[in-house]
Amino acid sequence: MANVAVIGAQWGDEGKGKVVDWLASRADIVVRFQGGHNAGHTLVVGNETYKLSLLPSGLVRGKIGIIGNGVVVDPEALLSEIERVRGQGIDVTPASLRIAENATLILPMHPALDRAREVARGERRIGTTGRGIGPAYEDKAARRAIRVADLAEPQTLADKLDELLLHHNTLLQGLGATVFSKEAVLGLLTRLAPQILPFAEPVWERLDEARRAGRRILFEGAQAVMLDVDHGTYPFVTSSNTVGATAAAGAGIGPAAVGFVLGIAKAYSTRVGAGPFPTELPDATGQLLGDRGNEFGTVTGRRRRCGWFDAVLVRQAVKVGGINGLALTKLDVLDGLPELKICTGYRIRGAHYRHLPAAPGAQAAAEPEYEVVEGWTGSTRGARSWAQLPAQAVKYVRRIEELVEAPVTLLSTSPERDDTILMRDPFEG
């Protein structure tokens, strides 16, 4: 028996929430280990749709949810999300949700700085979610962040705020944005502390106990390998590591406990923010994929850019992300297309590449080399067994497996929870 980590293998929004929700029925604990409320995970269960940003998707299945130390937590966003899902009948209490006492907080100056910087970048903006993710991780690395446990120590808060505000107000002033007063931020934290602290604990201890008792732990990734701060299309990335290895450090558990790394990939490609996207289709086919796939950002509402499946990038994500198997989602969106293309290499300034180089100029210049695959006329929508798939759809999946050098162990054929085909149970290792 293994634990399982679910990570995105493209640029996010691959359907991690749906897959985590489905797998959570076999798990005891679901842990978020990086990112913050920049994530938007959609779960469709019968007539109910749940949109989760910070809460682990396993809560919808009544499992214990843990927010690990690697997550950046906006306490106001967390409390309003808890209220929202409570309204949908999901019980979120300190018994079902635990937050790492050493997790970093996102405070009001973080989104303010995030947005002011994006404005200052102009044409070169990253297209961030504006939620303060980058500035919060910067403060963590710079050792000036306020963490969950600090909420219990008024003097620590007051002392830390001096350093924090000196840094942020200097930057905000330089960018022509509104500065923050110590009284206002301290007042906010004092008000939030009694609402957040009941959830806080050293979650590593709970995870260690669970591991030793043979409980199944599901690690829920956010964003994706191509948005990883090291391995993604830097600087058009998020500010955390999103690879499988991060599950260990971001939860407070050893690497061997992570187990099977399940990479989630769409049967085509999408991207929300700015940055290189070699297989992007700025034409009618891209528009069609976006319409049929309902490709609008869960968090931003922005239309997602769409393109063909990029086997070069997913293969790269398999290698650096430590992906043992792939869940391929949204195969149904390709139903009825006469022909499909898969990117198998790039031409960059006259040379052939089988990976995406790190230099931004080379990434922007990458011209995809395509293999053309015949489409299928039947429907895959809602298929729940391999036998229900048209032969040509099976061929497409098999070709992807070969090119990305990883087995497809799960297929998703609609947004609905149970429209899922399991080929190999990741909890079996």
**Cβ at position 306, least distance to ligand IMO in Å:** 13
| x-marked contacts with ligand GDP along 287-316 as a string, rule CB under 6 A | -------x---x------------------
Query: Under rule CB under 6 A, which residues in 41-80 are in contact with ligand GDP?
Result: 41-42, 44
Look at the block and give the residue holding tokens 């499992």: 63
DSSP notation for 90-136: ---STTTEEEETTPEEP-THHHHHHHHHHHHHGGG-----SSSHHHH
The β-bridge relationship of strands 29-32 and 325-329 is: unpaired
Query: Under rule CB under 6 A, which residues in 233-292 are in contact with ligand IMO?
Result: 238-239, 272-273
Instruction: Please check whether residue 374 is in contact with residue 339, taking contact to mean a CB–CB distance below 8 angstroms.
Output: yes
Among 8, 15, 75, 325, binds ligand IMO (CB under 6 A): 8
Q: Is position 41 annotated as part of the catalytic site?
A: yes
Nearest CA among 229, 145, 223 for reference residue 189: 145
Our finding on whether 300 is near Mg ion (CB under 5 A) is no
Among 5, 10, 12, 133, binds ligand GDP (CB under 6 A): 12
- Among the options 21, 37, 41, 150, which is catalytic? 41
Q: Which is nearer to ligand IMO, 26 or 115 (CB)?
A: 115
Look at the block and give the residue holding tokens 């956010």: 222
Burial of 192 (0-12, 13-18, 19+ CB in 10 A): middle
Please tell me the distance from the alpha carbon of residue 179 to that of residue 268, in angstroms, as a whole number: 43
Q: Which does 53 bind (CB under 5 to 8 A by kind): ligand GDP, Mg ion, ligand IMO, none?
A: none
User: Using CB under 5 A, which of the segments 136-144, 198-206, 228-236, 295-303 binds Mg ion?
Assistant: 295-303
Our finding on whether 414 is near ligand GDP (CB under 6 A) is yes
Q: Is position 228 annotated as part of the catalytic site?
A: no
Among 133, 151, 157, 306, binds ligand IMO (CB under 6 A): 133
From residue 118, how far is each of 130, 164, 278 by CA, in Å? 8, 21, 23
Q: Which is nearer to ligand IMO, 41 or 417 (CB)?
A: 41
Please tell me the distance from the alpha carbon of residue 90 to that of residue 83, in angstroms, as a whole number: 9
User: Using CB under 6 A, which of the segments 77-85, 120-128, 195-203, 328-336 binds ligand IMO?
Assistant: 120-128
User: Using CB under 6 A, which of the segments 82-90, 125-133, 140-148, 151-159 binds ligand IMO?
Assistant: 125-133
Q: Which does 233 bind (CB under 5 to 8 A by kind): Mg ion, ligand GDP, ligand IMO, none?
A: none
Please tell me the distance from the alpha carbon of residue 149 to that of residue 103, in angstroms, as a whole number: 8
Nearest CA among 214, 207, 163 for reference residue 185: 163
From residue 198, how far is each of 101, 151, 172, 191, 193 by CA, in Å? 10, 11, 33, 14, 9
Among 35, 36, 40, 135, binds ligand GDP (CB under 6 A): 40
CA angle, corner 317, sides to 381 and 12, nearest 5? 55
Our finding on whether 413 is near ligand GDP (CB under 6 A) is yes
Terminal Cα distance for the chain, rounded: 6
Our finding on whether 412 is near ligand IMO (CB under 6 A) is no
Question: Site residues (CB under 6 A) for ligand GDP?
Answer: 8, 12-18, 40-42, 44, 294, 298, 329-330, 332-333, 412-415
Active site (catalytic) residues: 13, 41
Question: Site residues (CB under 5 A) for Mg ion?
Answer: 13, 40, 298
